Amino acid sequence: MASKAAPLQSGSGAARGARHVAIIMDGNGRWAKKRLLPRAAGHKAGVDAVRKTVRAAQDMGLECLTLYAFSSENWKRPEQEIMELTGLMKRFIKADLDEFHSNNVRLRIIGNYTAFEPEAVELIEGALAKTANNTGCTLVIALNYGSQDELVRAANRAAQKGEITLEALETELDTADLPPLDLLIRTSGEIRLSNFLLWQAAYAELYFTDMLWPDFDGKALATALESFAGRERRYGGL
């Protein structure tokens, strides 16, 4: 019989010095295909992985966890798949919001979530309002998000206020109120950023794993953080 996994530690020690971790959740379709299941089954399993990972992030004491849930390019997918993804998002909010709220998790959205159907927008805005004053882990969901679009929007707003400088642009980003990004994880073996947090990742550590997203969990997050802890961050210095 397999031995029981050790419980996750809480606090900054378990987070291995990281404050903000972001994840490109990739591989739902391939996970389903390997099991001869429809893509929808992969997306459903991916939602379960989100639950496990968010709970682990809380236990580890991460300040912020950002998840790439729906990119601005995902609208090119078949309409049926978009409907399935939207439905999963709505069920996730209905099923998990009370738990997150009771655990002091604050929900944030980056990207233009108002492009989704009215019922989804209403649920999102209700979740944002309900958790707005929470002071624990911030769960950031990227919905209809593309980093190039974010940078254009930020540059336009900065230009309206005066000279475009590094500091001026950074204060206009969707993530302006969040801790600097420490670690960016991508699952499924792909080695690219796919238009995600391009500015924020300038000096973040990158971690790529062959694990498909539905198989990701707290143990996988801990492994990524162990890798992060062993690196020397130089920020362009010696």
CATH number at residue 189: 3.40.1180.10
Is residue 26 flagged as an active site residue?
yes
Residue 135 maps to a domain: yes
Per-residue pLDDT of the chain (238 residues; tens, 9 = 90+): 333 333 334 444 678 899 999 999 999 999 999 999 999 999 999 999 999 999 999 999 999 999 999 999 999 999 999 999 999 999 999 999 999 999 999 999 999 999 999 999 999 999 999 999 999 999 999 999 999 999 999 999 999 999 999 999 999 999 999 999 999 999 999 999 999 999 999 999 999 999 999 999 999 999 999 999 999 887 776 5
Residue 10 maps to a domain: no
Is residue 74 flagged as an active site residue?
yes
Find the Cα–Cα–Cα–Cα dihedral 181, 230, 24, 122, rounded to 10°.
-50
Helix 79-102 to helix 39-60 angle (10° resolution) is 20
Residue 142 maps to a domain: yes
The torsion angles phi and psi of 166, rounded to 5 degrees, stand at: -55, -45
Q: Which of 28, 74, 104, 134 is catalytic?
A: 74
Residue 201 maps to a domain: yes
What's the pLDDT at 15? 81
What's the pLDDT at 6? 36
Residue 56 maps to a domain: yes
* Boundaries of domain holding 153: 20-229
> Is the pTM above the cut of 0.85?
yes
How many domains does the chain fold into? 1
